[in-house]
Amino acid sequence: MENIIFTSHAAKELSRLLERYAPQDRFALTDPNTFRECWPLLAGAGIAGERVFVTEEGETGKSIEQVVRIWEFLTERGARRNAVLVNIGGGVVTDVGGFAASCYKRGIRCINVPTTLLAQVDASVGGKTGVNFRGLKNEIGTFALPEKVVIDTVFLKTLPFRQLLSGYAEMLKHALLSGRECLDTLLKMELHKATPRQLAPLVRESVQIKAVVVENDPEEHGVRRALNFGHTVGHALESAALAAGKVWYHGDAVAYGLLAELFLSVRKWGFDPLLLEEFARKITGIYPPYEPAATPEALYALMLHDKKNEQEGVNFTLLRAPGEFVIDNYCNREEILPALEYITHL
């Protein structure tokens, strides 16, 4: 947690962090919506307008072609090895910006200023960077910790509820990995009524859960794989939607991915089926209905490309109970297809 700053004055904190850099060495990456809604809140941070690169919005901006444009932007403006790239935005911006910074001149520093709930509790923390490639999520990337992460929940007031749901899915995942008390708190909360001030302690707790895991296994050789819970199915759902041209938020995919992998947990490790039912009621009550963009067979084929697979089958993290996870569970087609059918018929 040493590189994470929780604040209610993001502009002041960012200005302080940038004092060590000459004005010509400060660069920023953002997207159109964030530039419009959040950049004014950072107006005094000390980055000249001509050193701000506005990337494409959404998953279309998470490509190697977009990274090349960022590198060209930095080169054309004379960015040196001691430059810093400030990534201001959601998970796409922090993923792409982190990847671009980690490779440019063999690595320049970056600072993340996450402005969405998803980025604050997940994408900007932990040092994973990357882009999509040939329809596969995060296929190309690096492990590169940002110099600092500045988290200010004031930015959350700019978000539509659908964007809050994306981050809430990751918070639910962290709670499932942590224990029943944390999970009960999130299941009972009414997200649509929560203010940025009320979300602040919940964001801090969620980040703490992830940070402890990352510190114990920074490059995902063991226990950090637990953080992929819900994402093996979730990334397949997201990739299928992207290929079909459907609008499917990361949080939507992860929410239904959590349900599918909890179903597997019931079958393989005796996870409480009544808790699965409670969790399913929460998800189906607040998230859009699951509309398959691919058949279960096609989704299974996508999962076979998952980076965690090191032997035959698909590698999952599963749960015995909240707070009791088991990594490296290899499941076969006959085990996975019923889980995909389960979320189809909710």
DSSP 188-254: H--GGG--HHHHHHHHHHHHHHHHHHHHH-TT-SSGGGGGGTTHHHHHHHHHHHHHHT----HHHHH
Structure token digits, residue 342: 């389960």
Residue 228 is among the residues annotated as catalytic for this protein: yes
With cut-offs at 50, 70 and 90, classify the pLDDT of residue 305.
Answer: confident
What is d(CA 197, CA 242) in angstroms, rounded to the nearest whole number? 34
Would you call 147 a catalytic residue per the annotation?
Answer: no
What pLDDT does 94 receive?
95
Q: Which of 33, 59, 231, 238 is catalytic?
A: 231
Token pair in block for residue 320: 């015995």
**Taking 90 as the threshold, does the pLDDT of residue 45 lie above it?**
no
Listed in sequence order, the DSSP H helices in 54-105 are 64-76, 91-103
Q: Is 307 a catalytic residue?
A: no
With 0-12 / 13-18 / 19 or more C-beta atoms within 10 angstroms meaning exposed / middle / buried, residue 274 is exposed
- For tokens 């602040």, the residue is 200
In the structure encoding, which two tokens stand for residue 316, read together?
């999952």
Residue 50: active-site member: no
For this structure, is 128 an active site residue? yes
From the candidates 137, 148, 173, 224, give the one annotated as an active-site residue: 224
Q: In 3D, which of 190, 165, 144 has the Cα closest to residue 258?
A: 165
Question: Which residues have a Cβ under 8 Å from the Cβ of 262 and sit 6 or more positions away?
Answer: 176, 271, 276, 279, 319
Rg (the chain; Cα; Å): 20
- Is residue 197 annotated as part of the catalytic site, yes or no? no
Is residue 231 flagged as an active site residue? yes
Alpha carbons within 13 A on the beta-carbon side of 276: 25
Annotated catalytic residue within 13, 33, 132, 220: 220
Contacts of 342 (CB under 8 A, 6+ apart): 259, 260, 263
Q: Which one is catalytic: 13, 59, 170, 261?
A: 170
Give ∠ CA 67-137-331 in degrees, rounded to 5.
155
Where, residue-wise, is CATH 3.40.50.1970 in the chain? 4-158
CA distance 248 to 48: 35
- Residue 19, sorted as left (phi over 0), alpha (psi -120 to 50) or beta, turns out to be alpha
Annotated catalytic, 220?
A: yes
Pick the catalytic residue: 62, 109, 235, 315? 235
> Using CA atoms, how far apart are residues 31 and 92, in angstroms rounded to an integer?
9
- Are 118 and 250 in contact by the 8 Å Cβ rule? The answer is yes
CATH (residue range 164-344): 1.20.1090.10
Half-sphere exposure of 246 (CA within 13 A, CB side): 17
Indicate the pTM of the whole model.
0.91
Q: Catalytic annotation on 309?
A: no
Catalytic residue among 62, 128, 174, 225: 128
Q: Which of 51, 62, 174, 210 is catalytic?
A: 210
Is the pLDDT at 292 greater than 80? The verdict is yes
Residue among 33, 87, 112, 228 flagged as catalytic: 228
Known catalytic residue at 51: no
Residue 139 — very low, low, confident or very high, per pLDDT cuts 50/70/90?
Answer: confident
Catalytic member of 19, 50, 76, 106:
106
Per-residue pLDDT band for 215 (boundaries 50, 70, 90) equals: confident
Q: Where in the chain is the domain with CATH 1.20.1090.10?
A: 164-344
Read off the pLDDT of residues 154-166 as tens digits, 9 standing for 90 and up. 999 989 999 999 9
Strand-pair partners of 314: 331
Domain 4-158, architecture per CATH: 3-Layer(aba) Sandwich (3.40)
Tell me how far apart the alpha carbons of residues 331 and 264 are, in angstroms, rounded to a whole number: 9
pLDDT of 2: 79
Catalytic-role residue among 250, 261, 315, 329? 250
pLDDT tens sequence across 69-80: 999 999 999 999
Q: Kindly give the interhelix angle for 231-244 and 296-303, rounded to the nearest 10 degrees.
A: 120
pLDDT score, position 321: 97
Q: Whole-angstrom Cα distance, residue 79 to residue 119?
A: 26
